[in-house]
Homo-oligomer: A and B are copies of this chain.
Amino acid sequence: MPEAITIAVDAMGGDDAPSAEVEGSLQAAREYGARVLLVGREDELGKELRKHGPVPSAVEIVHAAETVTMNDNPARALRSKRGSSIRVAAEQVRRGRARGLISAGNTGAVMAAALTVMGRIPGVKRPAVAQAFPTLKSAWTLLLDVGANVDCSVDMLVQFAVMGDVYSRVLLGCENPRVGILSIGEEEHKGNGLTGEAYPLLKRQPLNFIGNVEGHDLYSGKADVIVCDGFTGNVALKVSEGLVAAIKSMLRESLEATVVRQIGYGLAKGAFDDFRTRLDYTEYGGAPLLGVKGGVIICHGRSNANAIKNAIRVAVELEKGGINQKIERNLERSLERV
């Protein structure tokens, strides 16, 4: 039996912390054979753990007295709260006590902790947050960056493409990922200054580059990996979240309007649940932060135990798939072509 992979879980981060983190960690230990370091206030975590019966040896508490809140300034909180759960969790990875890290806390603080405590993979200019979108063809399209870097340079976009390509192969099972650049028209000349400069560079890369794609291609299945600056990517992600919420709410209103429709809704409910699951990103274990030393998964603040469990699974798979070694190697090859 291969040695279990250890993941550090920031147990104080999410809206439902620490109960979602504790329950998700116990599930991940049981279902995937993962080892988990639960990082947070010892007394609180102990009490929460004991609610679930005898504590398995695969789950261990690492004490951290402080917490970075959603209202904290990330960089400042990371410096002033040296005993914060996110910082202590990142230190577990730096010291080799864990191979990856997950957190449903302040996203900026997770990125700052990963960057300053764990550090970047050699050759990486800036890490990027990648988000997988479900497509019509039952596959996934990976968009990056969705928020780590608001103003991007051309070579950052090229690196995002290389990292996204590796992630798509290793984690999403895509054999030869089609890589596109997010723009506002298919033709090479359509786009802004950044996309116009990035296009010829991407063409020279050892990637299956398919050129410009558009906003609707997040869901069309035309590309497996789409790169963009973190400002545009974050807007695209949040527009999607807002629209899904709006559609759910509009449908609910419409369906409550008459008794006949209510009966219809009752009969069609299974379909709604299918569809909600396919669009519910929290079901899929958060978004990886690519480019840092160790697997980092950023979870939604609203993560439940299931989301935490899935995030731990993805962090384990990142390590098993050797994603960071592959990113480092491919970035070296990429540099030869820029």
Contacts of A193 in B (CB 8 A): 150-151
**Nearest CB of chain B from residue A1's CB, rounded to whole Å:** 39
Residues of chain A from 182 to 234 with CB closer than 8 A to chain B in the complex: 182-184, 191-193, 214-220, 228-232, 234
Nearest chain B CB to A43's CB is how many angstroms away?
33
Distance in angstroms from A237 CB to nearest chain B CB is 7
Give the bracket for the number of chain A residues in contact with chain B.
Answer: 35 or more
Task: Tell me if B266 and A238 are in contact (CB < 8 A).
Answer: no
Residues in B whose Cβ lies below 8 Å from that of A229: 192
A215 touches B234 (CB 8 A): yes
In the complex, A264→B260 CA distance in Å?
A: 10
**Contact residue among B239, B266, B275 (Cβ-Cβ distance under 8 Å from A251):** B275
A184 to chain B, nearest CB (A): 4
Are A192 and B264 in contact, with the CB atoms below 8 A?
no
| CA distance in complex: A254, B134 (Å) | 15
Q: What separation, in Å, do the CA atoms of A122 and B193 have in the docked complex? A: 28
Report the minimal beta-carbon distance from A55 to chain B, rounded to whole angstroms: 38
Chain B residues contacting A240 (CB-CB under 8 Å) are 215, 239, 243
User: Is A171 part of the binding interface, using a Cβ–Cβ cutoff of 8 Å?
Assistant: no
- Is the CB of A335 closer than 8 A to any CB of chain B? no
CA distance A215 to B264 in the complex (A): 32
Q: Which residues of B contact A216 (CB under 8 A)?
A: 238-239, 241-243, 245
Tell whether, in the assembled complex, residue B267 and residue A247 are in contact, meaning their CB atoms are under 8 Å apart.
no
Asked if B271 contacts A255 (CB within 8 A), the reply is yes
A261 contacts which chain B residues (CB < 8 A)? Answer: 267-268, 270-271
When distances are taken between beta carbons in the complex, the residues of chain B under 8 Å from A215 are 234-242
A220 touching B232 in the complex, CB below 8 Å, given contacts A136-B250, A184-B150:
no
Could you give, for residues 248-286 of chain A, a 1 whenever the CB lies within 8 Å of some chain B CB and a 0 otherwise? 011100110110110111111111101100110000000
List residues of chain B with CB within 8 A of the CB of A230.
184
Q: Is the CB of A191 within 8 A of B231?
A: yes
Q: Which residues of B contact A234 (CB under 8 A)?
A: 184, 215
Contact between chains at B267 and A263 (CB < 8 Å)? yes
User: Are A243 and B219 closer than 8 Å at their CB atoms?
Assistant: yes
Contact mask for chain A residues 14-53; partner B; CB cutoff 8 A; 1 contact, 0 none: 0000000000000000000000000000000000000000
Give the chain B neighbours of A214 by CB distance below 8 A: 235, 238, 242
- Judged by a CB distance under 8 angstroms, whether A244 is at the interface is yes
Do A267 and B271 form a contact, CB below 8 Å, given A136-B246, A216-B241?
A: no
Out of B192, B267, B272, which one reaches A260, CB within 8 Å? B267
The answer to the question of A334 belonging to the interface, with a C-beta cut-off of 8 Å to chain B, is no
Q: How far is the CB of A222 from chain B (nearest CB, A)?
A: 10
Q: How far is the CB of A163 from chain B (nearest CB, A)?
A: 20
Q: Are B184 and A231 in contact (CB under 8 A)?
A: yes
A60–B192 alpha-carbon span in the complex (Å): 41
Other than the given A134-B246, A236-B239, A264-B268, 5 more pairs (CB < 8 A) read A147-B184, A192-B229, A243-B243, A261-B270, A264-B267
Task: Provide 16 A-B residue pairs closer than 8 Å at the C-beta atoms, listed in order of the A residue.
Answer: A135-B246, A147-B184, A214-B238, A215-B241, A216-B242, A216-B245, A220-B242, A239-B240, A247-B279, A251-B271, A254-B274, A255-B271, A261-B268, A264-B267, A264-B269, A267-B267
